[in-house]
Amino acid sequence: MPEPIVQIKDVRKCFGTVQALRGVSLDVAEGEVVVIVGPSGSGKSTLLRCINRLEEYEEGTIMVDGMTLDRTSNINAIRREVGMVFQSFNLFAHLTAMQNLVLAQCIVRKRSRQEAEQVALALLAKVGIPEKARVYPAQLSGGQQQRVAIARALAMNPKIMLFDEPTSALDPEMIKEVLDVMTSLAREGMTMLVVSHEMGFARAAADRVIFMDEGQIIEEAEPSDFFLNPREERTRLFLSKILHL
């Protein structure tokens, strides 16, 4: 079996006196789609943010694509390989959709403007909004903004994509357009870690579902097993709340 592309070993993290992560270990294989669920405050987003070091952690190790994220390693090198999509989109408000996609390609990947714009146009077409290239984020709907944000992350040709509750800030009718993009990305073999409560997406695209609570991984299973036969009592309680059984 090849080396996992993400290796998380016994990671611990505190916010003041609150223990956000209490020893989390997780391996993700190349091309795998992992969905992380859990109640709010369970540490799912923190774990995701530790993978590209937007959050520091106190103990444990995280290896991404063979590189260790310790304090001396070049964090920017890892961030180039790891794309991230945020709950609040975080599109650059002073730039058009096109410029949002072009900026980092030019200054981080050192691509020519012409090449970067070709990549950007192709990706905007892929997420279904090529006609919005010259439009500013404030003029786009939430779903469109999130699709631009996904395209922006993809423009860097990441090996791994992290999604931090990508549909939580969206109106119901816009959720599907974002999930469709994510599902097709999963089918193309992208390695994805997704914090989301979209059970439809988890069933359709995930290879593995992980349930976190109080900073620990409680249970992990294939989607079908996870939803039909959860082993742990806490998982059952959580599922009964979100699935309205």
Partner 1 sequence: MVAVAATIVLLVLLWPVPFRDLVLFARDGVLVTIVVTVSSYALMVVVGLFGGLGRLSKNKLIFGIASLYVEIVRGIPLLVQLIGWYFASPVIIQRVGLWLDLQPLIQYRANPIVTAVVAITVCYGAYTSEIVRSGVQSVPKGQMEAARSLGMSHFQAMRHVVLPQAFRVILPPMGNEFIALLKDSSLVSIVAVADLTRRGREFMAAHFNPIETWFMVALLYLILTLVAARVVSYIEKRSKYERY
Binding site for partner 1 (CB under 8 A): 52, 54, 76-77, 79-80, 82-84, 86, 88, 90-94, 103-104, 107-108, 136, 138-139, 149, 152-153, 156
Minimum CB separation of residue 232 from partner 1 in Å reads: 32
Minimum CB separation of residue 173 from partner 1 in Å reads: 24
Distance between CA atoms of 80 and 160, rounded to whole angstroms?
10
- Strands 59-64 and 67-68 turn out to be antiparallel
- Give 94 or 244: the residue with its C-beta nearer to partner 1: 94
Minimum CB separation of residue 88 from partner 1 in Å reads: 5
Q: How far is CA 76 from CA 11, 36, 165, 213, 215, in A?
A: 21, 25, 23, 30, 26
Distance between CA atoms of 180 and 200, rounded to whole angstroms?
11
- Give 37 or 78: the residue with its C-beta nearer to partner 1: 78
- Give 77 or 242: the residue with its C-beta nearer to partner 1: 77
Distance between CA atoms of 101 and 61, rounded to whole angstroms?
31
Minimum CB separation of residue 98 from partner 1 in Å reads: 13
- Give 46 or 235: the residue with its C-beta nearer to partner 1: 46
Of 205, 187, 188, 141, which is closest to residue 196 (Cα–Cα)? 205
- Sign of the CA dihedral 63, 148, 187, 112? negative
Distance between CA atoms of 229 and 236, rounded to whole angstroms?
9
Minimum CB separation of residue 149 from partner 1 in Å reads: 8
- Give 91 or 133: the residue with its C-beta nearer to partner 1: 91
